[in-house]
């Protein structure tokens, strides 16, 4: 089983829709979690951190479910500019190894 | 504060040649990660260096190798280049021992012809 798994998509959604991505991780002792956004031909950049209590930033909500070992990203009222690849990141182990998921591609269509 | 820097930004090589890609992490970061991203595909983990040692390696052939220098900068070497090695190579750095995010460089686009 991969350490971090994501559905690569693509997810094609209409403008204004709500879309959710999940990311599962295998190491139950993982400590920190993040979502990154990667635009076409650019490097990934941090979108938001994921906390056990949940984290909301405007139209974006990130949640962590430790019992089921997954994190989620919810995007409400999708905009065309949300089209990108979303990568989940898990930090685990004594050395705080950083593991990226393969990324989920989102395409918001007019 | 300077971010992660990678050089060169673009590199064109012919099949069979060797390529050397360089990465300078953010000051104070001791971990460096290398990823390959072929066109239209996701991030594929290549190598992880921390404190000068190779901590983990992805599912890539031995002709992909690297090292980390005492100043924590890193090199990725790809020998006997093949056409399918054409990709964006991304380097990320993070501080060891802290649960903080990793930061990426802008990548080196390697084209093998």
CA A23 to chain CA centroid, nearest Å: 6
pLDDT at B107 > cutoff 80: yes
- Nearest-CA distance from B15 to chain A in Å? 23
Instruction: Return left, alpha or beta for A67; rule: phi > 0 is left, psi -120 to 50 is alpha, else beta.
Output: alpha
pLDDT at B97 > cutoff 70: no
A91 at B interface, C-beta within 8 A? yes
B90 at A interface, C-beta within 8 A? yes
Asked if B43 and A44 come within 8 Å (Cβ–Cβ), the reply is yes
B107 at A interface, C-beta within 8 A? yes
pLDDT in tens, B47-80: 999 999 998 899 999 999 999 999 999 999 999 9
Tell me which residue has tokens 């239209």. B40
Per-residue tokens: A7: 């559905």
Question: How, if at all, do strands B44-50 and B31-37 pair?
Answer: antiparallel
Nearest-CB residue to A31 (from B43, B88, B99):
B99
pLDDT at A32 > cutoff 80: yes
Nearest-CB residue to A89 (from B31, B56, B101):
B101
The Cα–Cα gap between B10 and A97 comes to 28
Question: Mean pLDDT, chain B, as a whole number?
Answer: 92
Chain B CB contacts of A34 below 8 Å: 101
Q: Which of A1-10, A73-82, A91-100 has the lowest mean pLDDT?
A: A91-100
Asked if A96 and B96 come within 8 Å (Cβ–Cβ), the reply is yes
Burial class for A44, CB neighbours closer than 10 Å (0-12, 13-18, 19+): buried
* Residue B76, pLDDT score: 98
Pair A106, A83: CB distance under 8 Å: yes
pLDDT at A15 > cutoff 70: yes
Per-residue tokens: B4: 């992660």
Asked if A95 and B33 come within 8 Å (Cβ–Cβ), the reply is no
pLDDT in tens, B9-21: 999 999 999 999 9
Instruction: Decide which of B22 and B45 is more confident.
Output: B22
How many C-alpha atoms does A20 have within 13 Å on its Cβ side? 8
The Cα–Cα gap between A99 and A102 comes to 10
Pair A49, A33: CB distance under 8 Å: yes
Chain B CB contacts of A36 below 8 Å: 101
């Amino acid at each position: 089983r991969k350490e971090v798994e994501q559905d690569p998509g693509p997810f094609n959604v209409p403008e204004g829709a709500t879309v959710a991505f999940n990311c599962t991780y295998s190491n139950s002792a993982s400590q920190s979690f993040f979502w990154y956004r990667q635009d076409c031909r650019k490097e990934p950049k941090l979108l938001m951190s994921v906390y056990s209590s949940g984290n909301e930033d405007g139209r974006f909500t990130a949640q962590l479910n430790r019992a089921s070992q997954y994190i989620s990203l919810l995007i409400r009222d999708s905009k065309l500019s949300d089209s990108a690849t979303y990568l989940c990141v898990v930090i685990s182990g004594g050395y705080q190894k950083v593991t990226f998921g393969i990324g989920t591609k989102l395409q918001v269509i007019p | 504060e300077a971010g992660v820097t990678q050089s060169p930004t673009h590199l064109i090589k012919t099949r069979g040649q060797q390529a050397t890609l360089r990465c300078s992490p953010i000051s104070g970061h001791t971990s460096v990660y290398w990823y390959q991203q072929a066109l239209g595909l996701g991030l594929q983990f290549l190598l992880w260096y921390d404190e000068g040692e190779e901590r983990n390696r992805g599912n890539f052939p031995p002709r992909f190798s690297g090292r980390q220098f005492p100043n924590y900068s890193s090199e990725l070497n790809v020998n006997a280049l093949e056409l399918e090695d054409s990709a964006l190579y991304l380097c990320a750095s993070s501080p060891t021992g802290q649960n903080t995010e990793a930061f990426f460089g802008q990548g080196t686009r390697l084209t093998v012809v």
